[in-house]
Amino acid sequence: MDYRAQPEKYKVGKGEQGVLICEPYKSEIGQFWRFKTPEIATESSKKILEMFYKYIEANDFVGADMARKYLQMGYTRARRYANYKGGKKYDKEHDYKALERGTGSEEKAKSAEIFYKAYKSAEANPIYASMKKDWKKLKG
């Protein structure tokens, strides 16, 4: 579904919900979403935050919300890799037993911090907050 053509169909949802299915935003934003190193995370989060502000300027709430979700997802995914080696929380070879936490990468912890700051900056934007409140009231 093209949410730019039919924005009224968009529901905010919880957290990162819908981030990987909401076109055309998935294609526009997703290509820049990277967190392998702090340098890459810095470049990625800056680009996505820039897109967030352009969506705000264009009065495109769906685009702004999707950019915010990608920033949040950058944080949560990098954090998982910081907490668990290879980003794997469970051992599927042994009945999905939880793997040891704290075995991940310090580099990913830095990437997570970079995305977290960008995510919180977007979320705190007063124009975005107002748009989100109005959207939820009118469309869900």
Segment 108-138, tens digit of pLDDT:
999 999 999 999 999 999 999 999 999 999 8
Which residue(s) pair with 91 in the sheet?
97
Q: Check the CA dihedral 66-49-117-120 and report its sign.
A: negative
Containing H/E element for 38? helix 38-57
DSSP strand pairing (97-98 vs 90-91): antiparallel
Two tokens at 122?
A: 């977007």
pLDDT tens per residue, range 26-81:
999 999 999 999 999 999 999 999 999 999 999 999 999 999 999 999 999 999 98
- Enter the pTM of the model: 0.90
Determine how many CB atoms are found less than 10 A away from the CB of residue 83.
19
Two tokens at 112?
A: 């997570």
Residue 88 reports pLDDT greater than 80: no
Cβ atoms of 33 and 41 within 8 Å: the answer is: no
Whole-number Å distance between alpha carbons of 129 and 33: 23
